[in-house]
Amino acid sequence: MRAAVIDKPHTATLVETARPTAGPGEVLVKIAYVGLCGSDLELLHGTSPYLADGRAVFPHRFGHEWAGTVEEFGSGVTGLRRGEVVTGSTMIPCQSCRSCAAGHRNLCTELREVGLYGWTGAAAEYLVMPRHALVPFGPGTEQPRPEHVLVEPLVTVLEAVRAADLRPGDQVLVVGAGTMGSLAAAVLARYPVTVDIAEPGTVGHLPPGSYRNRVTRTADAPTGYDLVLECSGAPGTLNAALDRLRPGGQCLLVGVPAQPETVDAARITLDALRVAGVRHGVDHYARAVALVDELGAGLVDQVIPLAEVARAFDVLQDGRTRPKVVLSLA
């Protein structure tokens, strides 16, 4: 089968590899679309922390945002039919460790992760997944669509909103209008809160009414927010985000900074600020599948054939006006 790999820094190519087979409790999925994100770009550049600590090595088959159809399944698999449209969790929890048993599957201590470490990526014609990590789109969805790859980032946004404990009238600043920030604005538009956006680039893909005000720099936003969702991971943004909060406010880190950040811990204590990271929303896939067609509208910039994977990465880095670049195998 065809698969795309990053075989060394700055080089992504197409290769031929053996088609996998589904074992007991597993499903073979025929991949239709794969989304590219900043984590994939870090792998391409050779700067990913997964490469630095040995959890990923070259050649690396990437791809953790995907949608496809059920091709075949191994023994013991129930609740799926051949040809059904599905997606799957990036994080594959063990379901038996202490965290999983306590209902915190996103904190699994034996975690494997599709396209990052412990599991091959979806940038190929076929992908094997455990049945428990798959989510069907349901009978109303006959074919995968490019927007379906947005389920994966959407579940993390839903986890962030769950952690935020929003109240009517809250003032919220979303930092970044990439995939995560755009989805956050779309989700928050369903709540009785006021949303501002901090984004230096284009925001033309955001629907009218999804935000009140827009600033180009986080530091230019007013102070007094109840909640800041930091979705960019941009250098130096954390301190600016903390500066925007009212005493007792909350900053949730959705974007992953490429470099360590230094903060004033005394200010966090004296202003009673709450700062927390948001890890993948493993338990929100069913809700994300139901919402993605509505919330993901207008976020896909280009759909590029798998054979042109190198061009897709070029577009991801320098040629987008909308957040998401998608590889097509359909």
Tens-digit pLDDT string for the chain (330 aa): 999 999 999 999 999 999 999 999 999 999 999 999 999 999 999 998 888 888 889 999 999 999 999 999 999 999 999 999 999 999 999 999 999 999 899 999 998 999 987 799 999 999 999 999 999 998 889 999 999 999 999 999 999 999 998 999 999 999 999 999 999 999 999 999 999 999 999 999 998 889 999 999 999 999 999 999 999 999 889 999 999 999 999 999 999 887 888 999 999 999 999 999 999 999 999 999 999 999 999 999 999 999 999 999 999 999 899 999 999 998
Which CATH number is 155-277 given?
3.40.50.720
Sign of the C-alpha dihedral computed for residues 41, 47, 52 and 58 taken in this order: positive
Question: Which part of the chain has CATH 3.40.50.720?
Answer: 155-277
Question: Which part of the chain has CATH 3.90.180.10?
Answer: 2-144+299-328
Residue 92, CA distances (Å) to 30, 109, 115, 330 in order = 19, 11, 11, 25
Which CATH number is 2-144+299-328 given?
3.90.180.10
Rounded CA gap, 85 and 82, in Å?
9
Rounded CA gap, 328 and 326, in Å?
6
Kindly provide the residue ranges of all beta strands, DSSP E only, lying in the chain, ordered along the sequence: 2-8, 11-16, 26-36, 65-73, 85-88, 91-92, 112-114, 118-119, 126-130, 134-136, 171-175, 194-198, 214-215, 225-230, 245-253, 274-277, 300-305, 324-328
84: β partners: none
pTM of the model: 0.95
Which distant-in-sequence residues (6+ apart) come within 8 Å of 166 by Cβ? 172, 188, 191, 193, 227
